Amino acid sequence: MSLYEGSVKRPIMTALIFVAIVVFGVFSATKLPIDLYPKMEPNIIMVMTSYSGASASDIENNVTRPLESTLNSVANLKHITSRSAENMSLITLEFEYGHDIDDLTNDVRDKLNMITSALPDAVSTPIILKFDSDMMPIMILSVQADQSTNGLYKILDDNVANPLARIPGVGSVSIGGAAEREIYVYCDPVKLEAYNLSIEAISQIISAENMNIPGGSFDIGNETFPLRVEGEFNDPKEMENIVVASMGGSDIYLRDVAEVVDTIQERGQMTFTNGVRGATIVVQKQSGANSVEISNKVLEMLPKLQENLPSDVKIGLVANTSENIENSISGLAETVLYALLFVVLVVFLFLGRWRATFVIAITIPISLVASFIYLAVTDGSLNMISLACLSIAIGMVVDDAIVVLENVTTHIERGSDPKQAAIHATNEVAISVVASTLTMIAVFFPMTLAGGMMGMMFKQLGWMMCVILTVSTVSALTLTPMLCSQMLRLKKKHSRFYTIFFTPIQRVLDGLDAWYGRMIDKAVRHRKTVLTACVLICVAFFFTFKYVGVEFFPSSDDSRMTVKMYMPVGTRTERTHAIAKELADKWMKDFKDEARVVNYTVGQASEDNTFASMQDNGTHIGSFNITLVDPDERERTLFEISELIRADLNSYPEIEKYTVSAGGNSGMGGQSSIDFEIYGYDFDATDKVARDLRAELLKLDGVSEVRISRSDYQPEIQVDFDREKLARHGLNVSTAATYLRNRINGSTASFYREDGDEHYIKVRYAPEYRTSIEDIENILIYGANGAAVRIKDVGTVVERFSPPSIERKDRERINTVKAIINAGVPMGDIVTASNKIIKNMDIPLGINVNLAGDFEDQQESFGDLGVLGILIIMLVFIVLAAQFESFTDPFIIITAVPLSIAGVILALALTGTSLNVMSLMGCIMLFGIVVKNGIVLIDYTKLCRERGMSAIQSAITAGRSRLRPVLMTTLTTILGMVPMAVDQGEGSEMWRPLGVSVIGGLTVSTILTLVLVPVLYCMFTGVGIKRKRRKHRRQLALDAHWAEHKHTMIKSKK
Amino acid sequence: MKSVFIAYDQAYQEKILFTLDHFNCRGFSMFPQIQGRGSKTGEPHYGSHAWPSMCSAILTIVRDEQVDPLLEELHRIDKETERLGLRAFVWNVEKTI
């Protein structure tokens, strides 16, 4: 008993199997996490090594180079970049995508073990860090506080950060911009000198006084008592009464030489949100946790936390990546629903029967829901790729069911009993249904094998499409015949509604059939003209390519922008703050309808703020987070606003450089950039090339910003000690330097404990005694014999410029010039223009300029997609040749591919969409979709030929009879894509190019194949027939010759 | 005793069996999945790409008086849906065991 026979004869079993699939699918769907992209295996490993006291070039020579040469031999390595700065070397290893990061880490560790012993002794053991996109913050909260500024850190730490960190899945919660409480003992150096005291001595005394010491236990009578001395301060002011020395019989108290100040850190970050001082709270998730779930929990918790806060402290939201995820996902979900509606409508219009429409429509939810089971089994998530996949699939899953239903209807109309009709009709089309699914799988399966970033992105799409298409085919071969046998009846009389509503539609369709038949009749009789016309149209469409821009990835407007401005190195926080405030106020005014939150942070981050210290920070840097309202609520796009912001930044001469990153905060889809990598050993030469290139690039239209990676020389005050003089006082450089550090940076004497929190007690010079070089020169340091000596007596204080950090890539020094390209400007144009610039530049010998960045990724991805495309065409050809047992038929069918490419180009040119990864992806999908029409036409034409019709007659008959199924399957696919192509919601920029290219390609190729395939078929068959006739003629001539000369050739019997 | 050979499009299968039962023709031999074509208008039934449908045939041995009603009924079925194809032929049975 065959599959379909079994399913028709056991309808309950068949129905319940599919019910089970749906139940499991829905169950899996409720368990699936929601994310923006499929989980991507990280491909970056960093190796951090410290060598204290070494300069950048020492680090480069002694640490970075040997490590690089060893690490270079790790397998699957793509690029190795490094940064050698003072005290520290950071090597970044970028691997090819798709390898297990744990294996790679082990390889790296093995290599490091080999080399560690060869490094200088003082070098610390290299630390391996895996970089993960999970480290990106999922939420940034803003805190506004007018009055509680001083205690803000503690308030937030106790009432917000700690409760949030307890939410399962939350990795770390860091507070930025709120300074921590510290207790400073500000000493007066003159008084210290007078009383013969030093910072160190005071620090020791404070530490010795601030102690709780257990004194053991002792017995009194029958009981044992522990003995304790509680010496810790209960109030910072108590410290002022400590006796620090005695002089001339009188006690000298700490208050005589110093002032105890209970305050906040001297150097900290300040954060302002919409003009009000406050703080930012950054929430990071644990690796692999579900961002949407976490941020929902955080949002749920916030009102409760707000209740416990002082009334002036208000928590707001700066950025919530999950909002973007949810918007994108719900936008796509809407697209899927619209697609479903359109497809059902098309089927209903063509068939005119609700029972038949139901039979076909039911395959959509079944096959789509089945893919959720696959996702749940493979730990996948509901993301943009998987949802887009559903949207793409909707139009395709009905195709098989349509073919089966159509044939069953034919059988029923011939008079078969529905049950028998279902079995036999399915049997007849089973092979071609399976073959057309195989061609689709030939398209989507290679996607799962693609390498590089494309592979990471489209692996899930490929597998999901394979699962969906397989399920839809199985359903078409079992569920559809079963439902047909149960639901379809021979219509002996139509209802009134049907007559009124569908008679006109039927008439139009019948007219279309007849018209198409006549047209084919003409076309096949003017084969050469038609062929030439098609080729010409195709070529004309190809010419519109010059109006199509090329870019890598569509930029997506996620309403978020980060701006960093760099004042000259060494600018005081106050100055940076003033400029930042001016800009923020201006932007709040200029974009008052668009900006929801303008938040900025200035100042140096403290070392224990994980998130802030990972980022670039310093007294001269101001960083802004700007959140706009949703794209549909504003007129200007994110990119237009970012241009205005750049213009504002340009108008401040004080701002040395800036970066504006608009969009793509969640990984992909930001503004694209081209990196110009300048390789060369000589700093000055490469700096000059970089500066010249920057100046030239800025002149180009479409380049909105140019960044140079190498930072400037940093001015610093250095003390050069004279070792001989130091030795004379029993000192060495490190002890002398420690004295310096204690006076300027402060020496941590002890901790002040209050309510379970520890606060630093720092002893240092009062701020007014550390404002000039003379102050430093006059610092007293103490020799081994206790004698004091001034810094200026043992060394000199000089101002110098410290060299910048040294960056290397693939083991060569590099300086990168990054050009940020305006949204909508094709990257290809800029590349051509900049290549010309580089050619005209006077580049010294030994310096190379390479193009990298998004451009390199683009080249690589386009290359990958090209290989994929060729692979797919070959596979499709193999499937077709096997099915038709012929080489010419698949060739005729595959002519639809160039036609579809022409259509894609035309559609892109007309809609002004650029050629990018997504539109290429659509193009590749088309290879499978467009051949379907050809298969249907050729298959029926061959059938007609086998039934004894002439070639031309077969082509016409097949065309007339197959026009409706072709139009129906094509329309379902096109209309399924329409919502994707016109959607304006968040994240829609990603999928629009794909939708546009599929619609364009499919429309053009369908219209042209409907004419061209019959024509080509007739041409090839004509050639075949002529060849056969010639052969036959020759055979006849041969036979005649044989008959005539037989007697001379055969020996006669004797 | 007469033998009746019924050749028909597969889709008739159930109706034919029902008819045989109806006329109390218990014994028969069946040939499922056979190929053939009609002499005048009958479409070929080859199970091939061009002619995908198949025939079945039943050989049933009935008493003489059963033949006419059976043939009449079969003829009625054939007339109802002529495009499928149904034919019956009758022979004498010479001997049985």
What local confidence, expressed as pLDDT, does residue A999 receive?
A: 92
Judged by CB atoms closer than 8 Å, whether chains meet at A411 and B11 is answered as yes
Nearest CA in chain A to B55: A424
What are the pLDDT digits (tens) for A294-315?
888 888 888 888 888 888 888 8
Judged by CB atoms closer than 8 Å, whether chains meet at B49 and A427 is answered as no
Nearest CA-CA distance, residue A948 and chain B, Å? 9
Q: For chain B, what is the total number of helices (H) and then of strands (E)?
A: 2, 4
Secondary structure element (H or E) that encloses residue A162, with its range? helix A162-165
Give, in order, the Cα–Cα distances in Å from A326 to each of A35, A137, A282, A608.
8, 16, 20, 33
Nearest CA-CA distance, residue A418 and chain B, Å? 9
Task: Flag whether pLDDT at A615 surpasses 70.
Answer: no
B contacts of A408 (beta carbons < 8 Å): none
Judged by CB atoms closer than 8 Å, whether chains meet at A420 and B14 is answered as yes
A417 touches B at CB < 8 Å? yes
Question: What are the tokens at A72?
Answer: 């270079």
Question: What are the tokens at A683?
Answer: 């700093």
Nearest CA in chain A to B33: A424
Nearest CA in chain B to A423: B11
What are the pLDDT digits (tens) for A392-440?
888 888 888 988 998 898 888 887 888 888 988 888 888 888 888 898 8
Give the separation between CA A767 and CA A286, rounded to whole angstroms.
42
Give the separation between CA A970 and CA A1006, rounded to whole angstroms.
8
What local confidence, expressed as pLDDT, does residue A52 receive?
A: 72
- B38-55: average pLDDT: 86
HSE (side-chain half, CA atoms, 13 Å) at A928: 32
Nearest CA-CA distance, residue A490 and chain B, Å? 12
CA atoms A863, A869, A875, A878: torsion sign: negative
Judged by CB atoms closer than 8 Å, whether chains meet at B81 and A415 is answered as yes
What local confidence, expressed as pLDDT, does residue A665 receive?
A: 46
Task: Flag whether pLDDT at A152 surpasses 90.
Answer: no
| Nearest of B82, B87, B96 to residue B5 by alpha carbon | B87
- Contacts of residue A691, defined as CB under 8 A and 6 or more positions apart, other chains included, come to A708
Task: Flag whether pLDDT at A613 surpasses 50.
Answer: no
Find out whether A272 and A573 touch, Cβ atoms under 8 Å.
no
The backbone torsions φ and ψ at residue A680, rounded to the nearest 5 degrees and listed phi first, read: 170, 150
Q: Is A775 exposed, middle or buried, given 0-12, 13-18 or 19+ CB atoms closer than 10 A?
A: middle
Give, in order, the Cα–Cα distances in Å from A366 to each of A176, A317, A371, A426, A476.
50, 40, 9, 19, 11
Judged by CB atoms closer than 8 Å, whether chains meet at A414 and B10 is answered as no
Nearest CA-CA distance, residue B70 and chain A, Å? 20
What local confidence, expressed as pLDDT, does residue A132 receive?
A: 65
Give the separation between CA A452 and CA A999, rounded to whole angstroms.
27
- A439-449: average pLDDT: 87
What are the pLDDT digits (tens) for A821-875?
776 677 777 888 888 888 888 888 888 888 887 777 778 888 888 888 898 899 9
Task: Look over chain A and give the mean of its residue pLDDT values, rounded to a whole number.
Answer: 84
For strand A560-566 and strand A88-95, is the pairing parallel, antiparallel, or unpaired? unpaired
Nearest CA-CA distance, residue A415 and chain B, Å? 5
A424 touches B at CB < 8 Å? yes
Best of A5, A408, A410, A420 to disrupt the B interface (most B CBs within 10 Å) is A420
Task: Flag whether pLDDT at A83 surpasses 80.
Answer: yes
Task: Flag whether pLDDT at A89 surpasses 50.
Answer: yes
CA atoms A125, A131, A134, A137: torsion sign: positive
Chain centroid offset of residue B85 CA: 9
Spell A385-423 as b/e; 16+ CB within 10 A means b: bbbbbbbbbbbbbbbbbbbbbbbbbebbebbbbbbbbbb
What are the pLDDT digits (tens) for A329-375?
787 788 888 888 888 888 888 887 888 899 998 999 999 999 999 99
Judged by CB atoms closer than 8 Å, whether chains meet at B11 and A946 is answered as no
Task: Flag whether pLDDT at A649 surpasses 60.
Answer: yes
What local confidence, expressed as pLDDT, does residue A495 receive?
A: 76
Bridge partners, residue A48, by sequence: A90, A127
**Per-range mean pLDDT, top range of A754-758, A976-980, A1022-1026:** A1022-1026
Judged by CB atoms closer than 8 Å, whether chains meet at B81 and A419 is answered as no
- 3-state secondary structure (DSSP) of residue B66: helix
A contacts of B54 (beta carbons < 8 Å): 424
What local confidence, expressed as pLDDT, does residue A902 receive?
A: 92
Question: What are the tokens at A706?
Answer: 């140019």
Q: What percent of chain A has pLDDT over 70?
A: 94
| Nearest of A649, A625, A689 to residue A566 by alpha carbon | A649
What local confidence, expressed as pLDDT, does residue A319 receive?
A: 76
Give, in order, the Cα–Cα distances in Å from A840 to each of A129, A699, A833, A834, A836.
42, 15, 11, 10, 6
What local confidence, expressed as pLDDT, does residue A288 receive?
A: 67
Give the separation between CA A288 and CA A247, rounded to whole angstroms.
65
Find out whether A692 and A837 touch, Cβ atoms under 8 Å.
no
Q: In chain B, helix, strand, coil percent, each to 5?
A: 30, 35, 35
B contacts of A427 (beta carbons < 8 Å): 52
Nearest CA in chain A to B47: A428
Chain A window 944-1003: which residues touch B at a Cβ cutoff of 8 Å? 946-947
Give the separation between CA A958 and CA A524, rounded to whole angstroms.
13
DSSP 8-state symbol, A195? T
A9 touches B at CB < 8 Å? no
What are the pLDDT digits (tens) for A18-75?
999 999 999 998 888 887 777 776 788 888 888 876 777 788 888 898 899 888 888 8
Bridge partners, residue A173, by sequence: A283
If you write DSSP's letter for every residue of A850-904 in order, what string do you get?
EEEEHHHHHHHHHHHHHHHHHHHHHHHHHHHHHHHT-SHHHHHHHTHHHHHHHHH
Task: Flag whether pLDDT at A609 surpasses 60.
Answer: no
Give the separation between CA A244 and CA A254, rounded to whole angstroms.
6
- Cβ atoms within 10 Å, residue A841: 12
Best of A1, A2, A428 to disrupt the B interface (most B CBs within 10 Å) is A428
- Listed as own residue / partner, the contacts of A298-307 with beta carbons closer than 8 Å and 24 or more positions apart are A298/A139, A298/A164, A298/A167, A298/A170, A301/A163, A301/A164, A301/A167, A302/A141, A305/A159, A305/A160, A305/A163, A305/A164
- Cβ atoms within 10 Å, residue B8: 22
Give, in order, the Cα–Cα distances in Å from A94 to each of A81, A113, A672, A674.
8, 20, 20, 18
ipTM of this complex prediction, to 2 decimal places: 0.84
Give the separation between CA A17 and CA A15, rounded to whole angstroms.
6
- A720-743: average pLDDT: 84
If you write DSSP's letter for every residue of A415-436 in order, what string do you get?
T--HHHHHHHHHHHHHHHHHHH
Best of B8, B9, B19, B76 to disrupt the A interface (most A CBs within 10 Å) is B9
Question: What are the tokens at A675?
Answer: 């990196």
Nearest CA in chain A to B80: A415
Length of chain A in terms of residues written: 1054
What are the pLDDT digits (tens) for A748-795?
878 888 877 788 888 888 888 888 888 888 888 888 777 888 888 888
- 3-state secondary structure (DSSP) of residue A138: strand
Judged by CB atoms closer than 8 Å, whether chains meet at B84 and A419 is answered as no
For strand A714-721 and strand A795-802, is the pairing parallel, antiparallel, or unpaired? antiparallel
Nearest CA-CA distance, residue B57 and chain A, Å? 16
Instruction: Specify the amino acid at residue A455.
Output: G
B contacts of A2 (beta carbons < 8 Å): none
Grade residue A466 by pLDDT with cuts at 50, 70 and 90: very high
Sheet strands (E) in A691-743? 703-708, 714-721
Give the separation between CA A169 and CA A418, rounded to whole angstroms.
56
Question: What are the tokens at A300?
Answer: 């749920």
**Per-range mean pLDDT, top range of A635-649, A826-840, A1021-1035:** A1021-1035
∠ CA B42-B46-B52, nearest 5°, is 95
Report the residue from A415, A420, A428 with minimal CB separation from B52.
Answer: A428
Find out whether A430 and A436 touch, Cβ atoms under 8 Å.
no
∠ CA A274-A279-A282, nearest 5°, is 110
Judged by CB atoms closer than 8 Å, whether chains meet at A420 and B81 is answered as no
